[in-house]
Chains A and B, each alone.
Chain A
Amino acid sequence: MLAGIATGGIYACMALAVVMIYQAIHHLNFAQGEMAMFSTFIAWQLLQWGFPYWLAFVLTIGISFVGGFIIERTVFKPIENAPVLSHIVVFIALFAIFNSLAGFIWDFTIKPFPSPFGNASLFGDGLIGAHQAGMIVMTFVVLVLLFAFFRYTRVGLAMRAAAANPESARLVGIRVGMMTGLGWGMASAIGAVAGILIAPVVFLEPNMMLSILLYGFAGAVLGGLTSPGGAVFGGFAVGVVENLAGTYIPVVGAELKLPIALFLIIAVLVFKPNGLFGRTIVQRV
């Protein structure tokens, strides 16, 4: 259970990033995990060059934000009216590009990544270490910041409006393209936070995000794609379910853990398509 919450923290981070992009563009970004992985490598490189941890942390987030913004403006702006399939193809292309690029620049050997919180065991006999606890706290900090940003700032409101009704948003003077770019930047930055927090647990290598993104998707879908808070909850829930099932259902074991995520996605989509906390959109005419 505790171990589940700890891994759940990882998925919650990732689910949060997934939901952010979904809010901005209404597509699931398959390259999200690879973008996060790439950001983590940037952080690793900065640390190798001798930057202090938190400076590297902040720099990486800044770089990822700008990177996400630029990707949206250069790659996705030209195809904004293209069919969904075009977007998916581009997502897959980005996925492959980031994956190979990271392998090319930093090679595929597995690298350790430091934790700012240390590795001391807090309680639960080493099930939850200081790093896991720090990670969970960070996830909640990000969540609260995001919530405050979307609820109480003008730009946050403008971003929600641009996603909800782009044409009306233009009619009240919102620069919709800018908002989409911002959404990408933020999602990429959150992905960077997720990647940096996850790396000490799973170690750094170009494929580190593959399964985590799947769990992240599962968490996001479970919690509801329209709800950042739901996504975080979903992430934790997926972590707990995965661990409990892996431990207590003998058939499942370690090998069948991943299909649980996929099973969850399908089950939620069939029985509660909006997720647990997703908003059912009511529309009267």
Chain B
Amino acid sequence: MLLSVRDLRASYGAFNVLHGLDFDIEQGSVTTLLGANGAGKTTTLRALCGMIKRSGTIEFDGKPINRVKTEDIVRLGIAHVPEGRGTFTTLSVEENLHLGAMTRPRGEVADDVDRVYALFPRLRERSGQQAGTLSGGEQQMLAIGRALMLKPRLMLLDEPSFGLAPLIVEELFGILDDIKTNMKVSMLLVEQNAALALDLADRAYLLETGTIAFSGSSAEIRDDEAIRNSYLGY
């Protein structure tokens, strides 16, 4: 197991958001966390990265990372594409990409920038531009590109489709599929758009107010009409 989480709890102040989650991510697979607004999806990602207080056990590659700081979790190869994309708006597109490889040896960076540009040609066109001037879709591409610059073993994606036009979303998920099959990057994908996420993911967990209501393979969930109707709304 690449990532193994047991009894994960997290809270904002006195307000408990996660009430003991258990889930696993297999090497090379895409796992999705589905659920309504406020179910705790984003909180789960933030808890994994140590951005908020958490308890329980989180094992990455067999080693516990509960007490590891955010900056050092990155060094283990976990890249987080945060909610809102986390763009460094005042820096250029290329600088944003370079920042993604901050923890890696300098020599390899230039090649990797090229690789990201090959994946997202539109970023190459805008390489010198201030990143805050990019459209929402381009900023999302930049965020994913920045995460890839880490050569991550696990990528945490927080609602990549959020606020984007359907066509852009389709393009984006095509690229994510490409990353999955060709680069063998494992992913934990948080999505509101369940249909889209289930197409990409191998396994899904259904989150309801901080607990896991259901888990199974993507196919199982897709085919279960009761779950679809009551939780996913399609």
Residues on A close to B: CB < 8 A?
154, 157-158, 160-161, 164-165, 167-176, 226, 279, 281-285
- Interface residue count on the B side (C-beta < 8 Å): 33
Q: Does the CB pair A170–B71 fall under 8 Å?
A: yes
- Nearest chain A CB to B122 CB, angstrom units: 14
Show 11 residue pairs from A and B whose CB-CB distance is below 8 angstroms, ordered by the A residue.
Answer: A157-B95, A160-B88, A161-B88, A172-B102, A172-B146, A173-B72, A175-B71, A226-B90, A279-B90, A281-B89, A284-B132
Interface centre among B51, B88, B91, B99 (most CB of A within 10 A): B99
User: Of B74, B88, B130, which contacts A173 at CB under 8 A?
Assistant: B74
User: Of A158, A176, A226, A285, which contacts B163 at CB under 8 A?
Assistant: A285
Chain B residue numbers with a CB within 8 Å of A161 are 88, 91, 95, 99
Q: Does the CB pair B70–A171 fall under 8 Å?
A: yes
Chain A residue numbers with a CB within 8 Å of B95 are 157, 160-161
Given contacts A161-B99, A167-B86, contact A174 B132 (CB under 8 A): no
B134 at the binding interface (Cβ < 8 Å) = yes
Complex Cα–Cα for A170 and B71 (A) = 5
Q: Does the CB pair B88–A165 fall under 8 Å?
A: yes
Q: Does the CB pair B82–A171 fall under 8 Å?
A: yes
- Nearest chain A CB to B5 CB, angstrom units: 19
Complex Cα–Cα for A172 and B103 (A) = 8
Q: Does the CB pair B90–A281 fall under 8 Å?
A: yes
Q: Does the CB pair A154–B102 fall under 8 Å?
A: yes
- Nearest chain A CB to B129 CB, angstrom units: 10
Chain A residue numbers with a CB within 8 Å of B100 are 172
Chain B residue numbers with a CB within 8 Å of A165 are 86-89
Q: Does the CB pair A168–B133 fall under 8 Å?
A: no
Of residues 134 through 157 on chain B, the ones whose CB sits less than 8 Å from some CB of chain A are: 134-136, 139, 146, 150
- B70-109 CB mask vs A (1 if < 8 Å, else 0) is 1110110001101000111111000100111011001000
Residues on B close to A: CB < 8 A?
49, 51, 70-72, 74-75, 79-80, 82, 86-91, 95, 98-100, 102-103, 106, 130, 132-136, 139, 146, 150, 163
Q: Tell me the nearest residue of chain B to A155, going by C-beta.
A: B102
User: Of A157, A169, A170, A284, which contacts B135 at CB under 8 A?
Assistant: A284
Given contacts A154-B106, A157-B99, contact A168 B82 (CB under 8 A): yes
Given contacts A157-B95, A172-B74, A172-B103, contact A284 B90 (CB under 8 A): no
In the A-B complex, the 5 residue pairs with the smallest Cβ-Cβ separation, listed nearest first, are: A173-B74, A168-B86, A173-B103, A283-B132, A170-B70
Complex Cα–Cα for A282 and B139 (A) = 13
Q: Tell me the nearest residue of chain A to B72, going by C-beta.
A: A173
Chain B residue numbers with a CB within 8 Å of A160 are 88, 90-91, 95
- Nearest chain A CB to B68 CB, angstrom units: 12
Q: Tell me the nearest residue of chain B to A167, going by C-beta.
A: B86
Chain A residue numbers with a CB within 8 Å of B146 are 172
Chain B residue numbers with a CB within 8 Å of A175 are 71
Q: Does the CB pair B135–A171 fall under 8 Å?
A: no
Q: Does the CB pair B91–A281 fall under 8 Å?
A: no
Given contacts A161-B91, A161-B99, contact A172 B132 (CB under 8 A): no
Chain B residue numbers with a CB within 8 Å of A174 are 71, 99, 102
Interface centre among B91, B102, B133, B146 (most CB of A within 10 A): B102
- Nearest chain A CB to B43 CB, angstrom units: 15
User: Of A157, A171, A281, A283, which contacts B80 at CB under 8 A?
Assistant: A171
Q: Tell me the nearest residue of chain A to B49, going by C-beta.
A: A171
Complex Cα–Cα for A165 and B86 (A) = 8
- Nearest chain A CB to B161 CB, angstrom units: 15
Q: Tell me the nearest residue of chain A to B156, going by C-beta.
A: A171
Chain B residue numbers with a CB within 8 Å of A282 are 89, 130, 132-133
Q: Does the CB pair A283–B102 fall under 8 Å?
A: no
- Nearest chain A CB to B18 CB, angstrom units: 20
Complex Cα–Cα for A21 and B79 (A) = 30
- Nearest chain A CB to B53 CB, angstrom units: 15
- Nearest chain B CB to A272 CB, angstrom units: 18
Q: Tell me the nearest residue of chain B to A151, going by C-beta.
A: B95
Complex Cα–Cα for A168 and B131 (A) = 14
